[in-house]
Structure 1
């Protein structure tokens, strides 16, 4: 089950369609959908999590806590709406497209994709682009 939670004044448009899109991504990656919680928050909220849990004193657009068991995906995905807005401007893309990329990115991590090496980043970006093309 995919759920959407809000720590700021923000509402995801078309929650049901987004949930179906993420569910289809999970199925196509040959995984099973467990409990996946998206938490939309501010820079300050996510920065505190980054410091408290990861010991990183930096801003970031996404932090995911992976509780996956085998191929059944479970986790909490925190997304800073502030960062996504800024990144959309920096990359000259629509906010909704950058938000979808980040949402897919978190789930792709649960599917086993990494982004530490240059090669891993290329694979991750390719997967993100592929699933973005399948959005309704």
Structure 2
């Protein structure tokens, strides 16, 4: 089940929970997983920075923080997403806001599926998987 929340920002009316439920279910299935409970929490740069400092001891802005609650084959977790970072990334990468938002969402879900992005090879694999999953839209 996909739940959508907004913290310290205006509601993004263009977001459709049914779309995310259907799409992320496909993503999980392709990774031989089952979709569990995922919360998409859209927030501001400042709020996400506070989360980053408080829970990860990191002092920098980021576009997403993923808290993994997956068990067995069920993909579950909280995805905190900075709408400010997504907007800036979209401009920088010359893509639409919604495209970049979907890339960040699937990035978080791929983390829940077990993908990492710390090394260069892991990051390349993550980008390839993001592109593959975006093709499903």
TM-score under structure 2 normalisation?
A: 0.94
Tell me what 2:4 maps to. Answer: 4
Tell me what 1:103 maps to. Answer: 105
Task: Tell me how far 1:29 sits from its aligned partner.
Answer: 0.9
For the residues of structure 2 that align with 1:2 and 1:13, how far apart are their CA atoms?
Answer: 12
| Aligned residue pairs, count | 135
SS of 1:78's equivalent in the other structure is strand
Task: Tell me how far 1:15 sits from its aligned partner.
Answer: 2.5
TM-score under structure 1 normalisation?
A: 0.95
For the residues of structure 1 that align with 2:69 and 2:43, how far apart are their CA atoms?
Answer: 20
SS of 2:67's equivalent in the other structure is strand
Gaps of 5+ in 1: none
RMSD: 1.0
Tell me what 2:116 maps to. Answer: 114
Gaps of 5+ in 2: none
Query: Post-superposition, which runs of at least 4 consecutive aligned residues in structure 1 deviate over 3 A?
Result: none
Tell me what 1:43 maps to. Answer: 45
For the residues of structure 2 that align with 1:105 and 1:111, how far apart are their CA atoms?
Answer: 10
